[in-house]
Amino acid sequence: MKKMTTLVAAAFTAAAIFLGTNANAQSTPKSALRFGIGVEGLLPTGNLKEISKAGIGITPRLQYGVADNLALTLTSGYYNYFGKSTPIAGLDYKSYGMIPVKLGIKAFVSQNIYLGAEVGAGFETSNFGEVKGTSAGDVSKNTKLIASPGIGWANQKWDVGARYENFSGQGNNFGTVGLRIAYGFGL
């Protein structure tokens, strides 16, 4: 997992160097607020892949332009990873849910192209790896640290981005590859 994270970070750094930092147009002008609502397709990685094949999310995002090519973001919402059946082990996993709350930055590196990074917390709404037909009893839901680099394209109405998101905590370290398509407007 560390190798994948290092590779993704190196790719984003290289893209930033080659694309430069002079961006003229972005979706959030300086000192302006923008709100967008996104739908996400989620592909689990690591331990999460053992209990789910795919997930879906809905993520509202508030964005504030701090410069002509830089914006701060606040993203929340809900992720649902559909539980999968494992015929060999004879297990049917329950769906796994999480509420992410992330602060981030979007740096526009060329016309409409941005690099992003977010960090925050993920609040589990169900227990990780819970099997259907069982009760978790008094097991409390955990909070995960979220770290997420991404890249995307945005204009005045649409924002399409891809990212890798790492969840860590309580001995679990897993992640997701996400594709977010959002519609936004100025406030």
Domain ranges of the chain: 2-186
pLDDT in tens, 144-186: 999 999 999 999 999 999 999 999 988 778 999 999 999 999 9
CATH class of 2-186: mainly beta
Q: What phi-psi label fits residue 138: left (phi over 0), alpha (psi between -120 and 50 degrees) or beta? A: alpha
Evaluate whether 113 touches 19 at the Cβ level (below 8 Å): yes
pLDDT in tens, 76-108: 999 999 999 887 777 888 999 999 999 999 999
Q: Give the whole-angstrom CA distance, residue 64 versus residue 41.
A: 25
Pick from 44-58, 87-101, 125-139, 141-155: least confident: 125-139
What's the confidence (pLDDT) of residue 29? Answer: 77
The pTM for the full model equals 0.80
**DSSP per-residue string spanning 132-186:** TT---TTPPPPEEEEEEEEEEEE-SSEEEEEEEEEEEETTEEEEEEEEEEEEEEE
